[in-house]
Structure 1
């Protein structure tokens, strides 16, 4: 998942980015509102970690802007202000969760997964891929004949990008956006490597290559609108 971290505290920001990246997410770190807005205007994010007090303004104003534009991206507020009024204001502005600094990185990881599950379950509760049932919010794949398949975090990131648009061709660059943060060195064959791994696990015919453009997921015909 591509995550935007909006945090001006260098020590905390580095710790959150490092820990979250190790969980397989691509993390862009904006240290003020100006850069956060620039990131949001460039890439579609799966989650935002948002500090309330920033050098050039209030994080809650950015949250209100997003909700006013009907942007449904989930937002977890990170703040040092443990005031009930701040929590209420953040939740009323459209935040999905709230963490007070200092917090344990393990708790942050759990909150990220919980919020992501809620959104994914609402959008795509289950996807049928031939003899497989994919439950994106639970990170679980069941085989009709019994048993489950296990995917790495990056394999899930690629599969999520494809399943989010089951009728459409997903460009290679769109999949790269799910895997890499800004400034990361992109290896030319990374997408091909993870698509190959997914085919070995899911079945070679499930992910179709559209030469020169990208990839398409072969969902069950009964799920097509």
Structure 2
């Protein structure tokens, strides 16, 4: 079985993000970039399935600028077999990403698609669900545990009331939560090997998908700084302030 894993290039989670001077976007100049943390978990899970003999090949797919090849190479160093980059100069909306991925799935014919539940830059949490709908495949979102048994997937996901277990028929789309696994660090020998693994680049405009954006960003602003709290001596004082100062009771 072939597994297709999606990865996205995002700013490093440890870097402080700045808004551009004209408030039109986020300023990414000289900002360290990395694989989206949820995507990294997806790569790790796919590689583990291959190591367990469940999968025969792991293909990494990324959509974005030429620089996204760096993140694909990182995934290849973790153990994936080959990479595909759909190159696009501008940002791609979730539905457009799903439609472009659909084109790759039709070419590659994977039995399972794994991706992060969301990206840390836009936090949309939409692509996996849209992709499953376009393909007409089963979907399991926010997976915290994944087991494959023949043509079935046993998936555990965290919900408000506890844990929910689903049984999916393949082919399927699965999105990963943080507790699914702990991604490995790529070793130096594997990083060197990754440079020789195949990486195919396709132009987004050549795949027959309308790339016209449907959402317009009006303004990007830095969140207001959180104000310090006040320590009160008693419940009586708290109730008094809520009543007289805040007017909530």
Structure number with greater CO (CA < 8 Å, separation at least 6) is 2
More strand per residue: 1 or 2? 2
TM-score by length of 1: 0.32
More helix per residue: 1 or 2? 1
**Which protein has the larger Cα radius of gyration, Structure 1 or Structure 2?**
2
TM-score by length of 2: 0.29
